[in-house]
Amino acid sequence: MTYNEVVKMGDTYLLPLISELYQLEGYEIKPVQAHTGGRNVVYTCEKEGTDVKILRIAFLNDRSREDYLGEVEYIRYLFEHGGSVSDVINSRNGNLLEEITHQNYTFFVCLFKKAKGKMLVENNYQYREGVSITEYYYNCGKVLGKLHQLSKEYSPVHRRYSFFDKYNVEYINKLIPSSLTLLKEKLVELLKTLEGLDRNSESFGMIHFDFNDGNYKIDFDTGQITVYDFDNSCFGWYMYDLADLWTQGVGWKQFELDAGERKKFMDDYFNSVLEGYKSETSIDNTMLDQLPVFIEATIMENILDRFEMMQNNDEELECDRELSYLIKCLEDDIPYKGFFHEIYSCEEPFEYEERNI
């Protein structure tokens, strides 16, 4: 089942049924443009006098009902306990998740409140007028810290999958072409390093696993951040989400010529993030020391996701300049995504000569 097939089926069959399930009669339901690699069909639901809602139809068959229930129950738990997230809306049957089968194909449907505010990109990456950008860095850490603190107290009814359920040698061998032997070796080494890290309740729990400025909105009147898109959430290390936040910070200085200036900025940026984070929860210094390892883990996820996308779309496998850069960083043990290394070019940020595979 392809994205376009689901959209077509939505128009003729799914949306009328979903409108009844969620009492959306009278709403204008408009599709949201899919991003590359998107795994869902998403719509905005608007009606005068009511809050905007977001409808999501999941159509890929690589996740179970248990996985989806684990996601939406976690979101509801976070919302009810003060986490700054977009809540799930119950169907008229009282369910957080609805399952629809049509033509022997199963779709999982959820409805969410739309987060208040705008994404940074929608505001041309300008923060609140007259307010220091460090407030934003601090708030990113603070919101994430609150979610992690709540996760430390979370006992799921339906348990979401864990990091190693997906990221393992079998998964690597399935996706990475045989010609990239060194990359495979480095990924397996990284998995072994991760396997040796603590997985106690203070370091390992439900995480967002895609914490970036495309998955939250900012109320530019108050600075409040509201998080959404827990589609990739899983049990993992809290440091992984923090490493995602670290890698997000490089965008602010990606055109800076001087590596020393880039390093100074990233130190200051991440200190602000951690100050906000620690205002809500604690994290052991031994885990913070593993930041370079978790930055590598985010690169691993990015690489594997790119290859999985190509396979799912029946595309010819290729390494563009961005993917080649990530592979080079792992193969040559270049830390911090190469941001302070001679491999990095501010004229062509995070790009390297294309690999033949």
36 pLDDT tier (thresholds 50, 70, 90): low
More reliable by pLDDT, 271 or 105 = 271
Nearest to 324 by CA among 342, 347, 346, 306: 306
Three-class secondary structure assignment of 201-250 = CCCEEEECCCCCCCCEEECCCCCCEEECCCCCCEEEEHHHHHHHHHHHHH
Residue 200 makes CB contacts below 8 A (sequence gap 6+) with none
Q: Pull the structure tokens for residue 39.
A: 């795994």
| pLDDT of the residue at 39 | 81
Instruction: Label residue 37 by pLDDT band (50, 70, 90).
Output: low
- The predicted pLDDT at position 197 comes to 98
What is the predicted pLDDT for the residue at 345?
97
**Segment among 33-47, 111-125, 166-180, 238-252 with least mean pLDDT:** 33-47
Which pLDDT belongs to residue 104? 87
- The model's pLDDT over 146-174, given as tens digits with 9 standing for 90+, comes to 999 999 999 999 999 999 999 999 999 99
Decide: pTM greater than 0.85. yes
Q: pLDDT (tens digit, 9 = 90+) per residue, 183-212?
A: 999 999 999 999 999 999 999 999 999 999
Quickly state the pLDDT bin for 38 (edges 50, 70, 90).
low
Under the banding of pLDDT at 50, 70 and 90, the label for residue 243 is: very high
Q: What is the pLDDT of residue 10?
A: 83
Q: Which of 257, 214, 254, 36 is nearest to 118 (CA)?
A: 214
pLDDT for 7: 85
Could you tell me the sign of the dihedral formed by the alpha carbons of 286, 289, 291, 292, in that order?
negative
Per the model's pLDDT, the better-predicted residue between 152 and 39 turns out to be 152
pLDDT in tens, 56-106: 999 988 889 999 999 999 999 999 999 999 999 999 999 999 999 988 899
What percent of the chain clears pLDDT 70, i.e. is strictly above it? 99
Write the secondary structure of the chain as one string of H (helix), E (strand) and C (coil): CCHHHHHHHHHHHHHHHHHHHCCCCCCEEEECCCCCCCCEEEEEEECCCCCCEEEEEECCCCCCHHHHHHHHHHHHHHHHCCCCECCEECCCCCCCCEEEEECCEEEEEEEEECCCCECCHHHCCCCCCCCCHHHHHHHHHHHHHHHHHHHCCCCCCCCCCEHHHHCCHHHHHHHCCCCCHHHHHHHHHHHHHHHCCCCCCCCEEEECCCCCCCCEEECCCCCCEEECCCCCCEEEEHHHHHHHHHHHHHHHHCCCCCHHHHHHHHHHHHHHHHHHHHCCCCCCHHHHCCHHHHHHHHHHHHHHHHHHHHHHCCCCCCCCHHHHHHHHHHHCCCCHHHCCCCCCCCCCCCCCCCCCC
Instruction: Give the pLDDT score at 3.
Output: 81
Q: What's the pLDDT score for residue 111?
A: 98
Bridge partners for 110 per DSSP: 56
| Average confidence (pLDDT) over 239-252 | 98
Q: Does residue 339 have a pLDDT over 90?
A: yes
The predicted model gives 311-332 an average pLDDT of: 94
Check whether 242 has a pLDDT greater than 80: yes
